[in-house]
Amino acid sequence: MEKIIDIPNIRNITVSGRIASGATTLAKKLAEKIGWDVLDGGKLFRKINADLGMTITASNSRPDHFDLEYEEKVKKMLKNESHQIIQSHLAGFDAQGIPEIFKILVVCEDLEGNDKTEIRIDRLVNRDGKSVQDAKNEVVEREVEHLTKFRRLYADDDQEWNYWNHSYYDLIINTFSHNEEDSLDLALERLGIKKN
């Protein structure tokens, strides 16, 4: 067990990112380094979907109250707990206005800011052993379902809104141009934690 590292003026950290951007990997590596607990939102939602007998792409079929209650739990954790790394799509968005939260967004984008969808699909194929078609469906269809639901529940159906808007975050890490170790180093540097 790593010693818990206190970070001045930061009680909790959020890590958000599009599907297969590298957010889960960064959250786990960061937790190992600083000794904080991780809440993996994707894993929790997969369990909720399985309990409801739905596939991972069925977020629009999941009753709204599950999403609303989950996001309220995240906000409550961010406000009342410490030494938590919360990794979920909306964690950084949920943290808006809550003090002492460091919000990280993980993207996979080229120099012009275009999402590298094909790389995210390839990561699912390599990480989870999915077929290319299944990975493509998960990355593309699931993201559309997420956005449709999130926009309806949290953004008054604003079709321009997305949770990866850079203005919500304190640090943006691009996994198209940084590997896992570089990404961790960038996060640690911004958090003021020395590598050893």
Cα-based torsion angle of the residue sequence 9, 38, 75, 92 in order, rounded to the nearest 10 degrees: 70
Q: 39 in the Ramachandran plot: left (φ > 0), alpha (ψ -120 to 50) or beta?
A: beta
Tell me which residue of 163, 136, 181 sits closest to 17, measured CA to CA.
Answer: 163
Q: What is the pLDDT of residues 22-60, one digit of tens each?
A: 999 999 999 999 999 998 776 666 566 566 666 544 566
- Would you say the pTM of this structure is higher than 0.95? no
Q: What is the pLDDT of residues 140-184, one digit of tens each?
A: 998 999 999 999 999 999 999 999 999 999 999 999 999 999 999
**Domains recognised in the chain with CATH numbers:** 12-191 (3.40.50.300)
The predicted pLDDT at position 117 comes to: 97
| Confidence tier at 65 by pLDDT (50, 70, 90) | confident
Average pLDDT on 108-135 reads 95
CA distance 44 to 40: 6
Question: Hey, which bits of the chain come out as E strands?
Answer: 12-17, 37-40, 84-87, 101-107, 171-174
pLDDT greater than 90 at residue 195? no
